Structure formats: structure tokens, C-alpha cells
Amino acid sequence: MVAEISHPLSKYLREAMMPHIWCSGCGNGIILNCFVQAVDELQIDLKKLVVVSGIGCIGRAAGYINTDSFHTTHGRPIAFATGVKLANPDLEVVVISGDGDLFAIGGNHFIHAARRNIGIKVICANNFNYGMTGGQQGPTTLLEAFTTTTPYGNIEHPFNLVHLAAASGATYVARWTTLHVRRLTQSIKKMLQKEGFNFIEVVSPCPEIFGRRNRMRTGLQMMEWFKKASIIEHFSDPAKADITPERIVVGEFVDIEKPCYEKLLYDKMAQILT
């Protein structure tokens, strides 16, 4: 008899929810792995951790993590998380969602939460398209990329997410690809330990839906693109960090201190009550 061996991180997952819905070659599993690794290394009390997600492939991550979790409507995880964080500022509130959810339909909530500097940690899986609905053009689709709704090549300029986050007031902004597993984990750890609105963009492969229409049919081919194109440049100008087929600037872009919203709110309340 062989003793049953479980994965050291399996306690962080709801095994009843497995198997997951993600395609082979998808980067979401890597992102989830890096997140629970960071939570494990920091020994965060799971009872004090709330994971919120929106709609999309990565939106299912909230359900897979064994904490209090909420799978909201499309685009609204940050607004929902705002209610959670203010109702109990002692909770660590993490939003894990996709580029379409956070920056198209939910863009308004993102910029205003960043402006307020509310203590929500946002991890965005950027796969350049709407994966769950079958691969439509999204706010991060690269120029000239093919999707099911840009059959002649995309003519919309994509968002530069790190620039948007920095300009909106986020106190920590980083970008990694799923190739940078250790750096991403360290970055998540840093973000979880820091006050205020913090943001990490994770460029993630989507070979089944996006890649196969853009000459990257396998996860390996997409990772090879990340390897070839990514350059680590810490604290470079986020305005110049547009993602192109030739260049993906990764690293930390912003790491500043600014009073967070919940602290200001409760300080103000304390003043009023005395």
C-alpha cells in the first residue's frame, strides 16, 4: 500500500470544485498556484482572506480557493470588494479577474477604487481576449491581432494596464508573465503586505482561444513569445510600457506610500465620535 500523498498546497483549494474548467496550456493555473504559494509563504489566516472575482475564465478562481469567496456579476468584483473591505477592514480582500472584466465592463470601478486607494489587491489575468465566450476582441487585444470579432485584424488601440493603474493612483503596480513564476509570487507577497490599492497584471497564455488564431497554437509557443519579448525593467515609465508583439516590459512600476481609504475613513470617524 502506498500512503496517499496530497499536494502541500491542496489545503488552499476546494477539491470538491475540481476538475477546473481551464483549457490545457492556459495560464490561470499558474496564477492560482503563485497566489496560494504567496498566501502559504506569508501564512495568511485563511479565515481573514476573502477572494472576489468577476465573470470570465479566471473568474472561477474565487470558487477554487478555500476561503470566503464571491463570484460576482461581470465587471463588478472591485465594487463588491469595496463593500467587503469597508465593512471589515481587517479582512484581506483580493480580487482575481480578467482583463475584459476589470477594464472593459468594469473599468470605471477599477479607476475609482485606485483613485480612492482602497485596500483591495487586484490580480488581473491578461490573456488578450474574451476566452470564456470563445475569443472575442477585448480592451487589451493587440493591434492587428485576430479574434473571432476582428477577423481582419484588430484596429482598436489596446489599454496599457500598468499605465492606467499608475495614473489612477494605485500604490503598487507590477506586470509579470506566467513565465516569471518566482517573481510573480514575490510580487503577490509584496502586494499582500502593502496597504492601499495594489495591482498586478499577469500576461497569461490562452493558446486554445487566442493563440491558435495568432500563430501560437500551443501553450509552449505562447510562453516562448513571453520569453522572447519580455524585458525586466523595474520602475521604468509605465507610460512607455505598451505591450507589443516585440516587447513586453515587466517588473515593478510603482511602489509608493499613500494613506489608504479605509484608514482615512476610520480616522475621520474617530475624530467625529470624540
Partner 1 sequence: MPEGFILQRLLTRMSVLYAVFVRLFAQILQFLLLKNHVKKDVNEMKTENNRTVLTGTHFMNGDIACAEGALAAGCKFFAGYPITPATEIAEHLSKRMPEVGGIYIQMEDEIGSIAAVIGASYTGLKAMTATSGPGFSLMQENIGLAVMTEAPCVIVDIMRGGPSTGQPTLPGQQDIMQAKWGSHGDYEIIALAPSSVQEMFDLTIEAFNLSETYRVPTMVLADEVVGHMWEKVVIPPAEKIRIVNRKKPNTSPEKYLPYMPDDDLVPPMACFGEGFSFHATGLTHDEHGYPKTSSSGVQQKLVKRLCEKIRKNADKIVKVREFMVDDAEVIVVAYGIVARAALSAVKEARKTGIKAGLLRPITIWPFPEKLIAKIAEQAKKIVVPEMNCGQLVREVERNVQGTSVVFLSKLGEDPHTPMEILEAIRRNC
Phi, psi of 201 (to 5 degrees): -95, 130
Q: Out of 9, 84, 167, 229, which residue is the one contacting partner 1 (CB under 8 A)?
A: 84
Q: What is the DSSP letter of 68?
A: E
Residue 40 binding partner 1, by CB under 8 A: no
Phi, psi of 262 (to 5 degrees): -65, -35
Residue with cell 496564477: 31
Contacts with 108 (C-beta within 8 Å, 6 or more apart), sequence order = none
Residue 267 binding partner 1, by CB under 8 A: yes
Judged by CB under 8 A, which stretch of 26-34, 89-97, 170-178, 180-188 contacts partner 1?
Answer: 89-97
Q: Output the smallest distance, CB 12 to partner 1, in A.
A: 11
Q: Out of 7, 14, 157, 228, which residue is the one contacting partner 1 (CB under 8 A)?
A: 14
Residue 83 binding partner 1, by CB under 8 A: yes
Residue with cell 477572494: 51
Whichever of 5 and 272 has its CB closer to partner 1, that residue is 272
C-alpha cell at 69: 469567496
Q: Out of 220, 239, 256, 269, which residue is the one contacting partner 1 (CB under 8 A)?
A: 269
Residue 101 binding partner 1, by CB under 8 A: no
- The size of the interface with partner 1 (CB under 8 A), counted in residues, is 48
Beta-bridged to residue 175, according to DSSP, are 201, 251
Contacts with 228 (C-beta within 8 Å, 6 or more apart), sequence order = none
What is the Rg, in whole angstroms, of the alpha carbon atoms belonging to the chain?
A: 18
How many whole angstroms separate alpha carbon 119 and alpha carbon 115? 11
Judged by CB under 8 A, which stretch of 2-10, 73-81, 161-169, 236-244 contacts partner 1?
Answer: 73-81
Summarize as ranges the residues that interact with partner 1 (CB under 8 A).
14, 16-17, 46-48, 50, 52, 60, 62-63, 66-73, 75-76, 79-91, 108-109, 112, 262-263, 265-270, 272-274
